[in-house]
Amino acid sequence: MKKIGITCYPSVGGSGIIATELGMLLAEKGNEVHFITSSLPFRLNHINPRIYFHEVELSHYPVFQYPPYDLALAAKMAEVINREKLDILHVHYAMPHAISALLARDIAEHKVKIVTTLHGTDITVLAIDDIFKNMITHAINQSDAVTAVSNHLASHTKQLLKIKQDIQVIYNFINEQEYYPKRLDFIKQQYDIKSNEKVIVHISNFRKVKRLPDIIRTFYLILQQVDSKLLLIGDGPECGTAMNLVKELKLEQKVLFLGKQKNISELLRISDLKLLLSEKESFGLVLLEAMACGVPCVGTNVGGIPEVIDHNQTGFIAELGDTDQAATYAIEILTNQTLWNSFSNNAVKRVETHFHSKQIVKQYEQLYDCLLTSL
Ligand code: GMT
């Protein structure tokens, strides 16, 4: 049994989901897991006596212009490392979580190993900013082990920064109890979607990198040939732009803005196609969730997306910004039932063989074991 601390962003988002699901599975396997986060991770939804939550409390002293989250986190990490005698502190995101972890390791008297998992945005966005570049490099080089969620992210990190550390690729995974194939067509009626209408889905945090306009323009082209509806799930800075474009293209009756949703798997079970046309995407966990439910995907030739979608087997890869190509691929999938069935079956199999939670959790455990035997 190991004692493992986990820090992640506890709100909705792939990195928080992975960190929380990993923690829950590690606890199921007999480890003691300590979440050190700013609020209860939103996916932490089942009781286990071996799971603990330590809240990072922010002080609002008048002398601080901004509450010092990173320092409060480091102080809490050091406290938990000492009190609980943690073996491993696994942080998700170099910036700021690995930085706080390094400080906590220096402060704590008990010896702990730090594992940092890179999820993307810290490298693809923050590491380009000169202010943070050296700090992120330091956090990576000083961690005891570093993992990245795709080969693309690992090599991109090495290209961009002076990395002395080995970066091990450990793919993301899904919760198989939640994401599995099962059609729930009665839900279509609840959303006023006709049984003959195809359902196309996009799920994201509506940041600019997700290219919402490309999703809507691709859907506009699909609609010229296939009676369908587009579900836009999520919320974020580009929501207004997306709504304006939907109005401009007169798609109000065809595009449903569903906002943030908890039961994504149920909405995937009424979907016929998943679109992810991002300009930056280290992995694309939403693709894996869709594939596990048997939904074929069209994604861009960007980041880790081609490592998730097997082109011409589980979906198609289109060039970034080429909405004509994305629409052609989508129409091919939606109008050829034999192709759809084959992509759907292949998608489910691919998740089982390449991204099964058992396999992935084992890789993290082996990494922890390796670090602890080198103590
Ligand atoms: O996509 C986002 O903006 C959210 C971000 C997060 O913190 O969850 O997602 C990143 O981590 C996910 C889990 O590893 C990956 O599936 C996403 O591809 C990655 N996002 C980007 O690289 C933009």
Tell me the DSSP string of 140-162.
HHHSSEEEESSHHHHHHHHHHS-
Residues of the chain with pLDDT under 50: none
Give the whole-angstrom CA distance, residue 302 versus residue 325: 15
Q: CB-based burial of residue 182 (10 Å sphere; 0-12 exposed, 13-18 middle, 19+ buried)? A: exposed
The residues that bridge with 6 in the sheet, in sequence order, are: 35, 90
| Domain map (residue ranges) of the chain | 3-173+356-373, 185-355
Nearest Cα residue to 121 out of 132, 112, 111: 132
Whether the domain at 3-173+356-373 and the domain at 185-355 fall into the same CATH topology = yes
CA of 196 to the centre of ligand 1 (A): 33
- Per-residue pLDDT, 125: 72
Token digits of residue 120: 């993307």
Q: Which residues line ligand 1 (CB under 6 A)?
A: 13-15, 18, 119-121, 124, 149, 172, 205, 207, 209, 280-285
The CATH superfamily holding the domain 3-173+356-373 is Glycogen Phosphorylase B; (3.40.50.2000)
Out of 3.40.50.2000, 1.10.3470.10, 3.20.20.10, 3.90.1150.10, the CATH code matching 185-355 is 3.40.50.2000
* Range 264-267 contact pairs with CB under 8 angstroms and sequence separation of 24 or more: 264/203, 264/233, 264/289, 265/178, 265/179, 265/289, 265/293, 266/184, 266/187, 267/187, 267/201, 267/231, 267/233
- Per-residue pLDDT, 375: 56
- Per-residue pLDDT, 112: 98
- Per-residue pLDDT, 183: 83
- Per-residue pLDDT, 67: 79
Residue with tokens 């049994």: 1
- Collapsing DSSP to helix, strand or coil, 218 comes out as helix
Strands 315-318 and 51-55: unpaired
Of 121, 126, 289, the one to substitute when testing ligand 1's pocket (max ligand atoms within 8 A of C-beta) is: 121
Give the whole-angstrom CA distance, residue 101 versus residue 161: 20
- Per-residue pLDDT, 42: 82
